[in-house]
Every structure is written in structure tokens, then in C-alpha cells.
Structure 1
Amino acid sequence: MNSAGRYVHRRGIHCESACQRGILAAGGFDVDEEVVFGLDGGFGFSFFPANGNAPDIVVGKQEIMPLRAARLMGVEVGLHTPRSSAALAKLLASAPAVMTRVDLGLLPHWGLGGRSSFGGYFVNVTRGVGGEAFEVSDPAFDAPVVVGAADLDAARASRGSPPVNPDRKVYVFGPRRTAPRLRLVGPVAVRTLCRDVLRPGSRSLGIPGMKRLITAAASWPRSKRGEVEDVDLEGRVIRTDALARQLLHVGRQIESFGTGGGLFRPLLGRFLTQVAAATDDPRYAESAELFFESGRLWQSLGATLLARGTTDSREDLTSLVDGVTDTVRSAMDVEKRALGALTAL
């Protein structure tokens, strides 16, 4: 356990839960990342179609920073929207780190140059550096990075990925008051998760969102046409087919953009495994295995899109679209089985 008040950078799995875990540890409370993730209740699926040939957005969650885990842990969290570097630095004066929402595509150390945008990413800002930069704890990297104040401001203010823009949101965590008992709060979080994914109230979310992705993906060879600018996996600016950009973007969303791989499904499986142990109920573990199976399907698709999504052949790209629709349909069926079993508990 870290000593209270001292922030230590750790590489993580999911940006949001890893950042929360790091700040909680600085407050003297060391908790597994999958527990933070599961209790937060953000797991699920979101699909946001884009206009024209811009890439549609796929997210393995349904809520961004719902703060349910913090409430269960008795931690008060203040939400701020500082509009300047000076205002951000002022927040750091009262905390070992603050959690900041950003557009991943505008963080210089990701090398995307704004050509690929995702505004639902999180990093922890730990201190100012020389008045013109900040030290940033990005859980996707092995060590902290220094980001210029202007670059960080741009990433916090980005409007490049509606409806998941960062909106300058910054979270300041207070001290922990209670320790959650997973035996009691785990099943509550699981019931909420099942309700939100099976009956989300929006056709862009949960199981309806997966069905909408299947339909939309089938239309990509017609809707994603023409030559566009993108960044390849080595950070080089390239001209590519809009369909290739779409497929590469989905691959990145599944494997690279803070999910830990498999669109969060393995992370949820590990949470359910912990709930099974805490409650002494093996049925949670049985559903965990189904989410591990689903995670393998998503990981295979993501790896394929990252490896082949830059092909120049329109015929090959169209065949990859068939792989997207088939895999999403298979994963959806597995997840419906898991969620149905959990609902019955």
C-alpha cells in the first residue's frame, strides 16, 4: 500500500479505473483495478455513428466517469472545469493528483496528431513543471510523461469526438471514509450492470447498440468512401481509404484506446471472478467465463483490424467488414447468455 499523500505512477488496464485506483492509493487505499471498474458500473457498449465518411465511434462502456465506485467507497469527488493552465495548477495545490478528461488524439506522446480523436480518455495530472508544462500519469505508459500546458489545454478543450468530448472536466478526490464490502456491494453493481446493458433506454447503448453497429458496419463500404488523412500505427501521417480508416479506428477502440484489450470484457470477467469469491457463489464465475470468451472474440477482431486495416485493397477491406459484423453478432450472443444468467441471481 502506498503511503497517504504520495502519488505513484502505475501502468493500468483501463484509463478511467486505473486513474481512480492511482489516486485512491495516494490516499492510502489500495484496491484492485477490476474492482474499481466493476463497482463503477460503466461497463457495456456504446455506438455513435459519425457524419459522412468520418469514423463511427465504438466504446466498450455506456457511462463515462459515473462515480459509483467512489460513492460506494465513501470518497467525495469534486467536479471542476478549469479553463486555463493556471486554474488547473491551482487545483493541484490541494491534492496529490487530479483526474483529467482529455482527447487522446491530441496528447503528443500518443503520436496521433489529432487525426484520430477520442474525448473519453483520462489521465492524472500530478504537478506543474516549470510553469509551462505538467507531469502527466497516463496509465497506458510505463512512466509519467511531461505535456506542455498548451497541449494539455487543447486536449481538455477538444470538440473532435462528439458526443464524447472532454468538456474540460477535472475531478478532485477527497479522503476515503469507508471500505466497501464486495460481498454486499458487488451483487448490487452486477444487477445494475445487467439492467443497463440489456435495457439501456437508447438504441445506441448496450445490446441495442451492438445491433445498430452490425447494421451500420454493413453499410460502411458504401458510406466510408474516398481518400482521407490518417496516422498509421507507427505515428506516420498517411493518405488512406476512408473505409481503411474506419476499420483501423475500430481496432484501436477495441485494443488500444484505454480498454486493456478486448473492449473491457476480460476486465469485467476478473471483477465477476472476485465477486464469486467474495459471495461464495460460483454462478458469478460461470458468467465471468462467458465474458472471457467474449473478450477473446473482441481481441481477435481488434488484432485483425490493427494488422490488416491499412490494406489498400477495397475488396480486402470489404471482407474485413464481414468479419466485424460476424464477430459482433457472436460476441453479442455470448454476452446475452452471461447477462441473462446474472439477471437470474
Structure 2
Amino acid sequence: MSATGRYVHRRGLHCESACQCAVLAAGGYDVDEEIVFGLDGGFGFSFFPANGNAPDIVVGKQAIMPLRAARLMGVDVATHTPRSGAGLAKLLESAPAVMIRVDLGLLPYWGLEGRSSFGGYFVNVVRPLGADAFEVSDPAFDKPVSMSTAQLQAARSSRATPPLNPDWKAYVLGAPRRTPQLDRVGPVAVRNLCREVLRPGSRNLGIPGMKLLATTAASWPESKIGEVEDVDLAGRVVRTDALARQLLHLGRQIESFGTGGGLFRPMIGRFLNRVADSTGEARYAEAAGQFLDSGRQWSNLGSALLAAGTDTARDDLKTLVDAVADTARSAMDVEKRALGALTTL
């Protein structure tokens, strides 16, 4: 029997946690997005340099769909890789919605025309619309949208952003069996956060990844050269400087691509405040304030990069490159202090 009809589209801040919250709500369980985000354990930093003049990738997380929050809530999650519209429709026969991973740049309603890619984005597929289309719930938008099956398959199969390619992944969430006690599981999630961001075991992740961004950004004026195609903020295809494309892409990654703004830092700050309220431990609130400060720094940078757009002169772009490196170093120092204090709890 089809379970569609119980699902209600809702806007959210972070694609992954907002999609999970909407599916859980369809099953009768309402949970705040920052709680799912904080318990999931994906927060952090990732930096993946790209080949040639393609944009380097920055993500404010270190894991894609880690499913820790689901485990804490006793939610069974089945992972599938259907490679056809019929296979996706089959999953919807017994689920209110199916979470799928996609390349954001290939979602037609975003207007990026495939010229700006991010393969770690999530949407919920709600129902088939005839044989050749689906209704899609994207938490960045006010209303559901429709996509042709071909468009959806292109976004699900993209190979444009290794190591963040979607790989056809689809997730079916079951009903929660328990409510996590934040005073008990919150501190555990925070300890995991500290360990994974401070000592991630990879120079591309966490604090080492922020250092790598700061040093690599300085080389962008030499590595991001030549004229390339991009899509400006009005959705127009333009010819632009590769360095301008890099900076605009970074601005979108910080502010626009499902982070809620500030590269997830305000979200983790709100989660830490919730942990402080549930435990009575003020040091969580102090760290929350530091992450909110870091989030303001990232947002200020992201807003400046978006304002520069695609028409800025190259000398002015070099000034923005300096701002990228300075922000990465400054925010890193703030976050290291916050995390260092949390490790003593």
C-alpha cells in the first residue's frame, strides 16, 4: 500500500538534516533540525582541491549521511541504489518519501546549468508524476518541484565532483523507536565532534583541511586561470575568469548550497546551546558562542564572494583571495579554542 500523502514539504536549512526531519515528521515524529544535525556527527570541514582550473571543493562537514542520529532514534535506514525511474517509484510504494543524493548543479530549478557542481546534496522524492516525472521536495525552496525522470537520473548519476559523487544512493527511513535523551547523548556527540575535527586523520578534513585551504587559496591566482563558462547569480550563462568562478563557487558553498549560511557554524552553535540547556553545563554555551562567531566570519566572507559575482576585475579578485586565506586562519583559531575547551568536558 502506498504511504504517500502523509509527507508535507517543509523548508529547512541543511539539505541532509532537513530531509530527514521531513521524512520523520511524515511518520509522526517531529524533531528540530539542529538536533538531527548535531547528533549526526557530520559537522566539520572538508577541502578537496580540484584538477586544473576547476573549482576546489569546500564543505562544512566531514561525513555525508553518517546516520548517527537515525541510530540514536532507533530508525532503521535502508540504503538502495536504484538506477531507473521504475526502481525509484518502487521504493515509494512503501515509503512517504525517499531521500536521494544528487548533484545540485544538475537540478534544473537551481538554474546552475551543470556549470557549478556539488554531489553531496540531498532532496526527498515524494511521488511519481506519471511515467516520466517525479515530485521532489527540496528544503531550500518554498514548494515542491517537478523533475523529469531523465533530469533526476542525470543528477543522481553525476561524476562531476569526486570524491562527492552521488553514486545513485537512495535512503528509506523507518519510524523512530525511541527519543534520544539530549543530556546523555549530546555530550557523546560533542566528544566525537572534537576528536574528528581536531584529529581527523586526513589533511583534507577538519582543522588540517582549514589549514590546507588557507595555504592553497594563495595559489589560486596562478592555478585558476583562463576564461571559463559559469552561471551568474541571476542564472545567466556567462564567460568569466576561472578565479572569479572559484570565488563565486566558494561563496555558494558557504552560504547557498544547503548550509543554512555560515558553513553550518550557526547550526552547530544552536546544537551546543541545546546541549548546554539539557545538561546545565555552561561550557557548551561558551563554545556555542565561539562557533556563532566563526559562523559570522564565514558568512561575511561568503557574502563578499557572492557580491563580487563574475564581473570583478582580477586585481580585486586577488584581494578576495587574501580574504579567503585570512578568514580560514581566523575561523580556524576560534574553532580550535572552542573544541579544545570542549575536550575537557
TM-score normalised by structure 2 residue count: 0.98
**SS of residue in 1 equivalent to 2:76:** strand
Question: Which whole-Å CA distance do the structure 1 matches of 2:313 and 2:192 have between them?
Answer: 44
Aligned to 1:110: 110
2:219 is equivalent to residue 219 of structure 1? yes
Confirm or deny: 8 A CA contact 1:4 1:25 kept in the other structure.
no
Deviation at 1:282, TM superposition (A): 1.2
**SS of residue in 2 equivalent to 1:54:** coil
2:120 is equivalent to residue 92 of structure 1? no
Write the letter of the residue equivalent to 2:129.
V
Question: Which whole-Å CA distance do the structure 1 matches of 2:180 and 2:23 have between them?
Answer: 16
2:325 is equivalent to residue 325 of structure 1? yes
2:128 is equivalent to residue 101 of structure 1? no
Alignment of 1:77-156 (within 5 A): 77-156=77-156
Deviation at 1:175, TM superposition (A): 1.5
Alignment of 1:1-345 (within 5 A): 6-345=6-345
Question: Which whole-Å CA distance do the structure 2 matches of 1:114 and 1:309 have between them?
Answer: 17
Deviation at 1:27, TM superposition (A): 1.0
**SS of residue in 2 equivalent to 1:75:** coil
**SS of residue in 2 equivalent to 1:25:** helix
Write the letter of the residue equivalent to 1:259.
T
Write the letter of the residue equivalent to 1:283.
R
Question: Which whole-Å CA distance do the structure 2 matches of 1:309 and 1:209 have between them?
Answer: 25
Question: Which whole-Å CA distance do the structure 2 matches of 1:101 and 1:319 have between them?
Answer: 35
Q: Identity of aligned pairs, percent? A: 75
Question: Which whole-Å CA distance do the structure 2 matches of 1:71 and 1:39 have between them?
Answer: 10
Confirm or deny: 8 A CA contact 2:254 2:261 kept in the other structure.
yes
* CA deviations over 1:204-229 (Å, ceiling 9, x no partner): 00000000001110000000000000
Question: Which whole-Å CA distance do the structure 2 matches of 1:24 and 1:256 have between them?
Answer: 24
Deviation at 1:280, TM superposition (A): 1.1
RMSD after superposition: 1.1
Deviation at 1:311, TM superposition (A): 3.0
Confirm or deny: 8 A CA contact 2:58 2:253 kept in the other structure.
yes
Question: Which whole-Å CA distance do the structure 1 matches of 2:179 and 2:256 have between them?
Answer: 32
Question: Which whole-Å CA distance do the structure 2 matches of 1:260 and 1:14 have between them?
Answer: 6
* CA deviations over 1:1-36 (Å, ceiling 9, x no partner): xx9971111100000000000011111110000000
Aligned residues: 343
Deviation at 1:312, TM superposition (A): 3.7
Write the letter of the residue equivalent to 1:78.
A
Query: Which aligned segments of 4 or more residues in structure 1 are displaced greater than 4 angstroms?
Result: none
Question: Mean alpha-carbon deviation: is it higher for 5-14 or for 270-279?
Answer: 5-14
Gaps of 5+ in 2: none
Confirm or deny: 8 A CA contact 1:101 1:122 kept in the other structure.
yes
Write the letter of the residue equivalent to 1:172.
V
* CA deviations over 1:48-105 (Å, ceiling 9, x no partner): 0000000000000000000000000000000000010000000000100010000000
Question: Which whole-Å CA distance do the structure 2 matches of 1:338 and 1:301 have between them?
Answer: 20
**SS of residue in 2 equivalent to 1:263:** helix
**SS of residue in 1 equivalent to 2:263:** coil
Deviation at 1:310, TM superposition (A): 1.9
* CA deviations over 1:278-307 (Å, ceiling 9, x no partner): 111111011000000000000000000000
Deviation at 1:309, TM superposition (A): 3.7
